[in-house]
Amino acid sequence: MLVSAIGLATVVWFEEFRAGVSYALGFQIARSPINGETYESPAASAAIAIVELRAGAHGHFTATARVNGRSIPVLVDTGASMVALSYEDAERAGVIVRPHDFTGHVSTANGIAKIAPVRLESVSIGDITVYDVEAAVSEPGRLGTSLLGMTFISRLSRAEMRGGVLVLEN
Protein backbone atom coordinates (compact mmCIF):
# COMPACT_ATOMS: atom_id res chain seq x y z
CA MET A 1 0.00 0.00 0.00
CA LEU A 2 2.76 2.46 0.95
CA VAL A 3 4.63 1.73 -2.30
CA SER A 4 1.45 2.45 -4.31
CA ALA A 5 0.93 5.74 -2.49
CA ILE A 6 4.54 6.81 -3.16
CA GLY A 7 4.18 5.81 -6.83
CA LEU A 8 0.93 7.78 -7.17
CA ALA A 9 2.44 10.83 -5.44
CA THR A 10 5.45 10.69 -7.77
CA VAL A 11 3.20 10.64 -10.85
CA VAL A 12 0.88 13.39 -9.60
CA TRP A 13 3.63 15.71 -8.35
CA PHE A 14 6.38 14.64 -10.76
CA GLU A 15 7.55 18.16 -11.73
CA GLU A 16 7.73 19.25 -8.08
CA PHE A 17 9.67 16.08 -7.26
CA ARG A 18 12.06 16.71 -10.17
CA ALA A 19 12.61 20.34 -9.10
CA GLY A 20 13.29 19.26 -5.52
CA VAL A 21 15.82 16.65 -6.61
CA SER A 22 17.48 19.17 -8.96
CA TYR A 23 17.75 21.71 -6.15
CA ALA A 24 19.07 19.15 -3.64
CA LEU A 25 21.70 17.83 -6.04
CA GLY A 26 22.72 21.30 -7.19
CA PHE A 27 22.11 20.84 -10.91
CA GLN A 28 19.27 20.99 -13.37
CA ILE A 29 17.62 17.76 -14.51
CA ALA A 30 16.59 18.16 -18.13
CA ARG A 31 12.88 18.59 -18.76
CA SER A 32 11.22 18.10 -22.10
CA PRO A 33 9.15 21.08 -23.28
CA ILE A 34 5.42 20.41 -23.54
CA ASN A 35 3.49 21.97 -26.45
CA GLY A 36 6.40 24.17 -27.51
CA GLU A 37 6.87 25.79 -24.09
CA THR A 38 10.33 26.80 -22.97
CA TYR A 39 11.69 25.96 -19.59
CA GLU A 40 14.53 27.39 -17.56
CA SER A 41 15.22 26.46 -13.99
CA PRO A 42 15.17 29.59 -11.79
CA ALA A 43 17.90 28.08 -9.59
CA ALA A 44 20.12 27.37 -12.59
CA SER A 45 19.72 30.82 -14.15
CA ALA A 46 20.31 32.62 -10.84
CA ALA A 47 23.48 30.62 -10.15
CA ILE A 48 25.34 31.50 -13.36
CA ALA A 49 26.80 34.94 -13.88
CA ILE A 50 28.99 36.07 -16.77
CA VAL A 51 31.04 39.27 -16.83
CA GLU A 52 32.67 40.51 -20.02
CA LEU A 53 35.47 43.08 -19.86
CA ARG A 54 36.87 44.86 -22.91
CA ALA A 55 40.58 45.55 -23.07
CA GLY A 56 41.58 49.15 -22.48
CA ALA A 57 43.89 51.29 -24.59
CA HIS A 58 47.03 49.40 -23.56
CA GLY A 59 45.43 45.94 -23.73
CA HIS A 60 44.81 45.73 -19.99
CA PHE A 61 41.53 44.71 -18.40
CA THR A 62 40.38 47.09 -15.70
CA ALA A 63 37.18 47.03 -13.67
CA THR A 64 35.60 48.17 -10.47
CA ALA A 65 35.49 45.33 -7.97
CA ARG A 66 33.66 45.28 -4.67
CA VAL A 67 35.99 44.20 -1.90
CA ASN A 68 34.08 43.51 1.31
CA GLY A 69 31.25 45.48 -0.29
CA ARG A 70 33.31 48.58 -1.11
CA SER A 71 34.17 49.71 -4.65
CA ILE A 72 37.85 49.43 -5.60
CA PRO A 73 39.37 49.98 -9.08
CA VAL A 74 41.38 46.89 -10.11
CA LEU A 75 43.53 45.57 -12.91
CA VAL A 76 42.55 41.99 -13.78
CA ASP A 77 45.92 40.23 -13.81
CA THR A 78 46.27 36.50 -14.54
CA GLY A 79 50.00 36.91 -13.92
CA ALA A 80 49.38 37.88 -10.29
CA SER A 81 49.24 34.79 -8.10
CA MET A 82 46.84 36.46 -5.69
CA VAL A 83 44.55 39.41 -5.20
CA ALA A 84 46.84 42.27 -4.21
CA LEU A 85 45.43 45.43 -2.67
CA SER A 86 47.25 48.70 -2.39
CA TYR A 87 47.49 49.83 1.22
CA GLU A 88 45.13 52.69 0.43
CA ASP A 89 42.51 50.46 -1.26
CA ALA A 90 42.71 48.00 1.65
CA GLU A 91 41.88 50.81 4.06
CA ARG A 92 38.92 51.83 1.85
CA ALA A 93 37.70 48.21 1.97
CA GLY A 94 37.94 48.16 5.76
CA VAL A 95 41.02 45.92 5.82
CA ILE A 96 43.30 47.32 8.49
CA VAL A 97 46.92 46.19 8.62
CA ARG A 98 49.64 47.35 10.97
CA PRO A 99 53.41 47.53 10.40
CA HIS A 100 53.99 44.18 12.14
CA ASP A 101 51.49 42.47 9.73
CA PHE A 102 53.92 42.80 6.80
CA THR A 103 55.40 39.33 7.24
CA GLY A 104 55.35 38.07 3.65
CA HIS A 105 57.63 38.80 0.73
CA VAL A 106 56.83 38.65 -2.97
CA SER A 107 58.91 39.03 -6.08
CA THR A 108 57.60 41.76 -8.36
CA ALA A 109 58.79 43.44 -11.54
CA ASN A 110 60.25 46.13 -9.26
CA GLY A 111 62.05 43.67 -6.96
CA ILE A 112 61.16 42.10 -3.61
CA ALA A 113 58.27 43.72 -1.72
CA LYS A 114 56.82 43.17 1.73
CA ILE A 115 53.15 42.23 1.99
CA ALA A 116 50.59 41.66 4.71
CA PRO A 117 48.73 38.39 4.02
CA VAL A 118 44.96 38.78 4.59
CA ARG A 119 41.69 37.00 3.86
CA LEU A 120 38.93 39.05 2.28
CA GLU A 121 35.31 38.39 3.19
CA SER A 122 34.20 38.80 -0.40
CA VAL A 123 35.37 40.00 -3.78
CA SER A 124 32.81 40.77 -6.48
CA ILE A 125 33.01 41.85 -10.07
CA GLY A 126 29.66 42.42 -11.71
CA ASP A 127 27.29 39.68 -10.53
CA ILE A 128 30.14 37.30 -9.66
CA THR A 129 31.09 37.03 -5.98
CA VAL A 130 33.80 34.88 -4.44
CA TYR A 131 33.95 34.52 -0.65
CA ASP A 132 36.90 34.04 1.70
CA VAL A 133 39.58 35.15 -0.76
CA GLU A 134 43.28 34.92 0.04
CA ALA A 135 44.94 38.27 -0.66
CA ALA A 136 47.86 40.51 0.16
CA VAL A 137 48.13 44.17 1.11
CA SER A 138 51.15 46.10 -0.12
CA GLU A 139 53.09 48.56 1.98
CA PRO A 140 51.85 52.17 1.80
CA GLY A 141 52.67 53.83 -1.52
CA ARG A 142 54.15 50.66 -3.12
CA LEU A 143 51.28 49.52 -5.39
CA GLY A 144 49.58 52.01 -7.68
CA THR A 145 46.67 49.79 -8.77
CA SER A 146 45.11 46.88 -6.92
CA LEU A 147 45.30 43.56 -8.78
CA LEU A 148 42.54 41.01 -9.21
CA GLY A 149 44.78 37.95 -9.35
CA MET A 150 44.51 34.19 -9.40
CA THR A 151 43.16 33.66 -5.88
CA PHE A 152 39.96 35.15 -7.33
CA ILE A 153 40.18 34.06 -10.98
CA SER A 154 41.05 30.40 -10.26
CA ARG A 155 37.81 30.01 -8.29
CA LEU A 156 35.68 30.82 -11.34
CA SER A 157 34.38 28.11 -13.64
CA ARG A 158 35.67 29.95 -16.72
CA ALA A 159 38.06 32.76 -17.60
CA GLU A 160 38.94 33.19 -21.26
CA MET A 161 39.95 35.84 -23.73
CA ARG A 162 38.23 36.22 -27.08
CA GLY A 163 38.95 39.06 -29.46
CA GLY A 164 39.97 41.63 -26.87
CA VAL A 165 37.24 40.59 -24.43
CA LEU A 166 37.89 38.82 -21.12
CA VAL A 167 34.97 36.54 -20.22
CA LEU A 168 34.56 35.56 -16.56
CA GLU A 169 31.93 33.06 -15.39
CA ASN A 170 31.18 31.82 -11.89
The range of the structural domain enclosing residue 6 comes to 2-46
The mean pLDDT value for 69-81 works out to: 95
Q: How many domains does the structure of the chain reveal?
A: 2
Give the pLDDT of residue 9. 39
71 vs 13, higher pLDDT: 71
pLDDT over 90 (residue 17): no
The tens digit of pLDDT for each residue in 22-51 reads: 444 444 434 434 434 434 444 444 578 999
pLDDT over 70 (residue 10): no
Considering the domain architecture, whether residues 41 and 62 belong to the same structural domain is answered as no
Considering the domain architecture, whether residues 18 and 97 belong to the same structural domain is answered as no
Give the pLDDT of residue 152. 98
The mean pLDDT value for 147-153 works out to: 97
Report strand pairing: 70-76 vs 146-148: parallel
- Determine the Cα–Cα distance for residues 74 and 90; give it in Å rounded to an integer: 12
The tens digit of pLDDT for each residue in 95-135 reads: 999 999 999 999 887 789 999 999 999 999 999 999 999 99
Considering the domain architecture, whether residues 71 and 114 belong to the same structural domain is answered as yes
pLDDT over 80 (residue 58): yes
pLDDT over 90 (residue 136): yes
On whether the pTM is more than 0.85, the answer is no
CATH number, domain at 163? 2.40.70.10
Give the pLDDT of residue 100. 96
Give the pLDDT of residue 110. 79
Considering the domain architecture, whether residues 75 and 156 belong to the same structural domain is answered as yes
- Determine the Cα–Cα distance for residues 124 and 159; give it in Å rounded to an integer: 15
Q: What is the DSSP string of 94-138?
A: T----GGG--EEEEETTEEEEEEEEEEEEEEETTEEEEEEEEEEE
Considering the domain architecture, whether residues 89 and 28 belong to the same structural domain is answered as no
Considering the domain architecture, whether residues 24 and 64 belong to the same structural domain is answered as no
Q: How far is CA 150 from CA 79, 91, 109, 145, 153, in A?
A: 8, 22, 17, 16, 5
Give the pLDDT of residue 5. 38
Considering the domain architecture, whether residues 72 and 88 belong to the same structural domain is answered as yes
